[in-house]
Structures are given as C-alpha cells and as structure tokens.
Amino acid sequence: MPQAPLKVALVTGAARGIGLATAKKFLSEGWRVALLDIEGELLSRAVAEIGQSEATMALTCDVSDAAAVAAAMTTIEQRFGRLNALVNNAGIAVFAPLNIRVNAVAPGPVDTAMAKQVHTKEIRADYHDAIPLNRYGLEEELAEAIYFLCSASASYITGQILAVDGGFDAAGIGLPTLRGQRRNG
C-alpha cells in the first residue's frame, strides 16, 4: 500500500506559548512543521528543544513584511515540497484556490507566560468569574482546536474564526477590571 505524503504546517508566532504548543501538536501527529516567529533567537532555542530536525524548520520572519513571507514560503516549499495548513492569528479564505484552507482561532484568556506577566490578580479573578467554564484555557487546548481545523476532519471548513475561550465571548460580558482601567487610564 502506498504511503500518504507527509503533511506540512506553517505555524506563525511559534517561538512560545500557543504557537509553540500548536507546532508540538502537529509534530506529535506526524506532520512536518515550519515554525515562524519574529524573535529569531527565541525561535532557534524552541526548535532546538523540540529536537526533531528532520521534521522542523525555524524561520525568522515578520509576517507583516510581504517579501519576507514570500521568501519563507519559498524556503518551505524547497525543504518540504508542499504546504497543507497555515496556522496564523487570523485568516481568510484567500488561499482556498491553492487548496490551502485558512481558518483562525480566537483565543480567550489562556494561561501563557505572557498572560501571567500582564494579568493582575484582579483581572484573573474577573476572568474566572466571567468565563462560563470558570478557568483560563491551556496552550495545549488551543493547539487541539487549531490542529482540528487543519486536519482532515475539518476538510470542508475554510475562512472561519473559531472562538476557543471557555464560553467568554458567548456570555457577552466584559470585565469590570478592564473597563475601569480604560476609564482611569
């Protein structure tokens, strides 16, 4: 029986947090992964820690620079021969004619290192009270949702934004702590 070709994902913001967790999820499912981030040194360390040099590549890239993105895409194609999924912080269906599905995940509060640095005790308490699931999300939970959108199970889904936020958006309420900061700040 012929073996299916390996799938390739491009993950932006992959040096840490949700992006890195997403890259690890794809790798655990047997995908090749191109990890992009503007923070080259941090990205190099992350890829070295993953330790799967045959399945990964690190590309320092500012995704707001069209020429840099084009160069990254060329490098990915040269190394892996294809791209099956693009994982970015936002997306639309412009890649659909190329048979590349583009979807976005809109995370709610996620227990990342950055959130731990910037969310005060009061903000964390407000989120806890406002999120129907009563907790912050985990990086791995976001990675699971992202992986689903890129998997064959979501083969007819493109151009969508999926809120992965414990029900925060559906509850339709804001945070008193943040509203107070805006008024006073």
* Structural contact between residues 104 and 95, judged by C-beta atoms closer than 8 angstroms: no
Residue 72's contacts (CB-CB under 8 Å, 6 or more residues apart) are: 10, 34, 36, 59, 61
CA distances, 101 to each of 80, 84, 111, 185 (Å):
18, 8, 28, 40
Other C-beta atoms lying within 10 Å of the C-beta of residue 36: 27
At 172 the pLDDT is 79
pLDDT in tens, 22-62: 999 999 999 999 999 999 999 999 999 999 999 999 999 99
Residue 181, token pair as written in the block: 């900061």
At 185 the pLDDT is 46
At 2 the pLDDT is 65
Distance separating alpha carbons of residues 119 and 130, to the nearest angstrom: 15
Task: State the chain's maximal CA–CA distance in angstroms.
Answer: 66
Predicted TM-score (pTM) of the model is 0.82
pLDDT in tens, 61-94: 998 899 999 999 999 999 999 998 888 754 344 4
pLDDT in tens, 108-136: 999 999 999 999 999 999 999 899 999 99
Q: What is the CATH number of domain 8-184?
A: 3.40.50.720
Question: Domain spans of the chain?
Answer: 8-184
* Structural contact between residues 36 and 10, judged by C-beta atoms closer than 8 angstroms: yes
Question: What DSSP assignment string belongs to the chain?
Answer: -PPPPPPEEEEESTTSHHHHHHHHHHHHTT-EEEEEES-HHHHHHHHHHH--TTTEEEEE--TT-HHHHHHHHHHHHHHHS---EEEBSS--GGGGGGT-B--EEEE-SB--HHHHHH--HHHHHHHHHHSTT-S-B-HHHHHHHHHHHHSGGGTT--S-EEEESTTHHHHT---HHHHHHHHH-
Distance separating alpha carbons of residues 108 and 102, to the nearest angstrom: 20
Using the predicted structure, report yes or no on whether residue 20 has a pLDDT greater than 60.
yes
At 96 the pLDDT is 63
pLDDT mean over 147-167: 92
pLDDT mean over 96-103: 75
